[in-house]
Chain A
Amino acid sequence: MTAELSARSDALAYVHPDKSGLFAYVVSLADDSLIAAQRMGHWIAAAPQIEEDIALGNIALDLLGQARSLLTYAGQVEAAATGTPCDEDSLAYFRDERDFLNVHLVERGHGGPGGEPGSDFGVTMARLLILSTYQFGLYTALQSSTDETLAAIAAKAVKEVDYHRDHATMWVLRLGDGTAESHAKVQAALDAEWPYVEELFDNSYIDPSLLESRAAVDPSGLRDVWQRRVASVVDQATLTLPVVPPAVTGGRRGIHTEQMGFLLAEMQHLARSHPGATW
């Protein structure tokens, strides 16, 4: 078993034999959801209300479910190209930081280590509004992908992220249009998250042939509708759309913030310490 796993890890030294770029595209979609789920999971047993605790847990599990489907598919693409087995667990637990392709938006702490003192529920909701509105547009479009697997995963996920969007909207409205303190905090949260918006709509990492064949969705085409949807919530919440320069990012190329390593250490240590463990 150990030998098999280490062979697997070697295979995951990432030569990317899948020249179509499909692997990288699917992994980028999967990693956004996987890392957002891991980050959201920090709230479990630490949310401000037990009802919200369950809501955040449900959202995290929805995201994890999307990541599992996508990573399983990515594993099949990679296995077909290499002839070496590759499954969701090997991709989630045995890739190193530079092989993760998620955006910086999802990997950073929630204004402090999530769920610990200093973490900010306003940051969680502002970020969820940004992410779920993006994923809603993305999965809506991806339902018409010429890649049948991606289309099927998107059809299931779109209903989930629609609910995430609703949940985030409800809270941003209440925090923004709530007390002076909640307004100030959620505005600060929005300002802090906003520099990480642009990376969501960057299409430069996607293999052009995937865009041409309409297997992939061009995220840059989702920007205008996204902006309108988010702006309408922000307006209604009596908040102001931030005007800030985009942050320097590189998530789609495997360049991550310093917080990513800590997140991965926590997420991966069990599987790496006890390879093949089940419970």
Chain B
Amino acid sequence: MSGNGMSGSGTSERRDWPLWEVFVRAKRGMSHVHAGSLHAPDAEMALRNARDVYTRRQEGVSLWVVPAFAISASSPDEKDAFFDPAADKIYRHPTFYDVPEGVDHL
């Protein structure tokens, strides 16, 4: 499949390349952050495409590519049940608690 559509004909086949999600780590110690997506025939090429598309201005020091189909996402329909219950749980925020005097660096 990877070789098809590279010759100027067979346009319809070109979009058969799977979609990959790209995660870029901006610098050491930081986490990888989703940067966008791209098409590539396989993981090796996806990494190289990611290098060319998402790090050409020195945006990163490390790249992950993940097949988009491997990502399970929460559904917009479930948004209320998933996220709203957290709205009034102010005790889940550290700012809810008073820091006792004399405790530094908490």
- On A, residues with C-beta under 8 Å from B are 48-52, 54-55, 58, 117-122, 166-167, 170, 174-175, 178-179, 181-183, 185
- Contacts of B53 on A, CB cut-off 8 Å? 51, 54
Contact between chains at A58 and B7 (CB < 8 Å): no
- Contacts of A58 on B, CB cut-off 8 Å? 52, 56
Contact between chains at A174 and B2 (CB < 8 Å): yes
- On B, residues with C-beta under 8 Å from A are 1-8, 14, 17, 38-41, 44-45, 48-49, 52-53, 56
CB distance from B75 to the nearest CB of A (A): 29
- Contacts of B48 on A, CB cut-off 8 Å? 55, 166-167, 170
- Contacts of A54 on B, CB cut-off 8 Å? 49, 52-53, 56
A-B residue pair count with CB separations less than 8 angstroms: 63
The answer to whether residues A120 and B3 also contact, given A54-B53, A167-B48 and a CB cut-off of 8 A, is: no
A117 to chain B: closest residue by CB? B8
Contact between chains at B39 and A48 (CB < 8 Å): no
- Contacts of B38 on A, CB cut-off 8 Å? 51
Contact between chains at B45 and A170 (CB < 8 Å): yes
- Contacts of B2 on A, CB cut-off 8 Å? 174, 178, 182
Contact between chains at B6 and A122 (CB < 8 Å): yes
CB distance from A234 to the nearest CB of B (A): 16
Q: Which of B3, B41, B44, B49 contacts A181 (CB 8 A)?
A: B3
CB distance from A160 to the nearest CB of B (A): 12
Contact between chains at A119 and B45 (CB < 8 Å): no
A120 to chain B: closest residue by CB? B7
- In the bound complex, how far is the Cα of B51 from the Cα of A55, in angstroms? 9
Q: Which of B1, B4, B8 contacts A119 (CB 8 A)?
A: B8
CB distance from B6 to the nearest CB of A (A): 5
Contact between chains at A121 and B7 (CB < 8 Å): yes
B20 to chain A: closest residue by CB? A51
